């Protein structure tokens, strides 16, 4: 896991290195490349070493053909690909990726992992600029005339080019807690779409698989796919732990995986925390956060990120990741992806399951925190998003939206919160094998009378009991009124928006 920066803008010189270090070094505390010149390009890389941690394989990587790779993420099946294409034993996923591209053996659909990378060929031409299928790793782009600058963090671009705030992004933030269509909070900065290459276009879209062609998926098939996801996400030369809550998803990983250390966080008296205490789980570290600790961490993260955070739990994630870092952890696994793949957002997925036709206004009512005005750009973009696409039913329209647009928001907040602590986040359930199986499961099978994710609940029931598996779990939001004083009787949502938006002023 790393921070990357690439630019051919002549305004980028070593004079800007301090800004780049300040805004990207936290993503890779183990090593910093400085600003490296390659043809007309300048590249920077900060490394958090996870695979082949002692080899000194730092970036940018210059291959034997004269090209340059700068890469963030992990290729988890690098050993298998090295054997297949070169009959060689690779110890570095970075070198494997570099060799695949340089030797014209690269097929992005063969990669199992999460990544964002740029490749400049021996002539100084950018031939690859790609992001993984589900958008686990971030990649932001700024165009200035004929020049392009690419970064893991939009704050880097904002500070380098003194960019103005995109007011349309603020409206999106108030409605959905993220710049859903704008891509960032800064004018001119966009985000590369998941499953896309800036040079070669879209290579993956979940809509191609959400076609309504269902079949019976056995518990054995589902368990095998999840186990494959866990096994691949355990590929690491550094210590690995599991983020544990009271939910089905993280406990399914716990029951199926082989972890030595677990971490959880909350406030004293939270039902999740009290439940985990009662379970007496060996090697479980529980951090009970104090209000002043939360407030201090909030301000640290907001300053570091330079843009609003999405949800209050980001602060807790960073705090527990910092605690895990003290134990020598460099990787934490979590259960993201299950709700999106398997219909876990009960209210909106139940509506979608029973709705004979898609109603954009009803969707907005259920999804948005604040409903956009019908004359707004956000409302227009949401309407346009669905009306030009064909779905077999309302359920698949909603499932596509959650996988394609909502899931990357979750990944962004997990990625930043953990990287701010020097930890890599991994999501075993959000793997392509589990995705393919999930798309074959019909809405009727996925959705129970009141609860979604029924296949996952059925899978964990023999391990944890029916009471746990089929509990209607309700989230416990952070009480911001107790954390931020003198808020004049404002509710938590309003406090969260106001405190976060201060960073843009």
The answer to whether position 348 is within a domain reads yes
DSSP label at residue 335: -
Q: Are residues 174 and 322 in the same domain?
A: no
User: Can you read off the two tokens belonging to residue 40?
Assistant: 């007309």
User: Of how many residues is the chain composed?
Assistant: 505
C-alpha to C-alpha distances, 443 to 262, 349, 405, 450, nearest whole angstrom: 33, 9, 20, 13
What average pLDDT does the segment 41-47 reach?
A: 94
Picking from 204, 235, 254, the residue at the C-terminal end of a domain is 204
The region of weakest confidence among 91-95, 362-366, 410-414, 434-438 is 91-95
pLDDT at 23 over 80: yes
Residue 213 lies in a domain: no
Domain C-terminal end among 148, 169, 204? 204
Find where tokens 């079949």 sit: 215
User: How many domains would you assign to the chain?
Assistant: 3
pLDDT score for 235: 84
Q: What is the pLDDT of residue 209?
A: 98
**pLDDT per position as a tens digit, 135-193:** 999 999 999 999 999 999 999 999 999 999 999 999 999 999 999 999 999 999 999 99
Q: Which two tokens stand for residue 237?
A: 């030369």
34-41 contact pairs (CB < 8 A, 24+): 36/60, 38/62, 38/68, 38/120, 38/124, 39/120, 39/123, 39/124, 40/8, 40/10, 40/124, 41/6, 41/7, 41/8, 41/68, 41/120, 41/124, 41/126
Q: Structural domain of residue 332, as residue ranges? A: 219-339+411-500
pLDDT of residue 193: 98
SS3 38: strand
| Contact present, 114 and 97 (Cβ < 8 Å) | no
Predicted confidence (pLDDT) per residue in 316-342, tens digit: 999 999 999 999 999 999 999 999 999
Mean per-residue pLDDT, 296-315: 97
**In angstroms, rounded to a whole number, what is the distance separating the alpha carbons of residues 146 and 159?**
20
Give the CATH number for residue 485.
Answer: 3.40.50.620
Give Cα 494 distance to the centre of its chain: 25
């Amino acid at each position: 896991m790393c921070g990357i920066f690439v630019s051919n803008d002549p305004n980028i010189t070593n004079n800007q290195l301090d800004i780049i270090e300040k805004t990207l070094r936290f993503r890779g505390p183990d090593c910093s490349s400085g600003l490296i010149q390659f043809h007309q390009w300048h590249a920077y890389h900060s490394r958090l070493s996870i695979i082949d941690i002692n080899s000194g394989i730092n970036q940018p990587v210059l291959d034997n053909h004269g090209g340059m790779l700068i890469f963030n993420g992990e290729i988890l099946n690098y050993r298998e690909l090295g054997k297949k294409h070169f009959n060689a034993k690779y110890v570095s996923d970075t070198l494997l990726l570099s060799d695949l591209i340089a030797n014209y053996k690269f097929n992005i659909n063969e990669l199992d992992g999460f990544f964002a990378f740029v490749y400049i060929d021996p002539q100084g031409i950018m031939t690859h600029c790609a992001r993984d299928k589900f958008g686990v790793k971030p990649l932001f782009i700024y165009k200035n005339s004929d020049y392009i600058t690419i970064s893991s963090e939009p704050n880097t671009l904002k500070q380098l080019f003194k960019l103005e705030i995109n007011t349309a992004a603020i409206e999106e933030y108030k409605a959905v807690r993220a710049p859903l269509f704008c891509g960032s909070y800064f004018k001119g900065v966009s985000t590369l779409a998941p499953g896309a290459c800036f040079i070669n276009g879209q290579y993956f879209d979940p809509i191609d698989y959400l076609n309504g062609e269902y079949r019976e998926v056995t518990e054995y098939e589902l368990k095998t796919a999840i186990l494959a996801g866990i096994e691949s996400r355990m590929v690491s030369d550094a210590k690995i732990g599991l983020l544990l809550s009271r939910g089905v998803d993280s406990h399914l990983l716990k029951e199926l995986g082989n972890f030595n250390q677990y971490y959880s966080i909350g406030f004293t008296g939270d039902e999740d925390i009290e439940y985990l205490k009662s379970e007496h789980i060996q090697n479980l570290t529980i951090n009970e956060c104090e209000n002043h600790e939360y407030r201090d961490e909030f301000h640290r993260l907001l300053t570091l990120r330079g843009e609003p955070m999405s949800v209050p739990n980001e602060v807790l994630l960073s705090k527990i990741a910092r605690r895990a870092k003290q134990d020598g952890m460099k990787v934490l696994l979590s259960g993201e992806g299950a709700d999106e793949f398997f219909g876990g957002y009960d209210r909106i997925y139940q509506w979608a399951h029973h709705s004979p036709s898609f109603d954009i206004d009803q969707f907005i009512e259920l999804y948005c925190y604040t409903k956009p005005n019908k004359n707004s750009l956000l409302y227009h973009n949401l309407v346009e998003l669905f009306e030009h696409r064909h779905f077999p039913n309302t359920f698949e329209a909603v499932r596509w939206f959650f996988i394609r647009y909502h899931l990357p928001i979750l990944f962004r907040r997990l990625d930043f919160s953990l990287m701010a602590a020097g930890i890599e986040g991994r999501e075993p359930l959000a793997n392509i094998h589990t995705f393919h199986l999930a798309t074959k499961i019909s809405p009727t099978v996925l959705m129970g009378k009141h609860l979604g994710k029924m296949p996952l609940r059925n899978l964990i029931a023999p391990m944890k009991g029916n009471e746990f598996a089929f509990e209607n779990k309700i989230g416990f939001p952070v009480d911001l009124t107790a954390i931020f004083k003198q808020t004049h009787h404002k509710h938590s949502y309003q406090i969260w928006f106001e405190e976060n938006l201060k960073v843009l002023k």
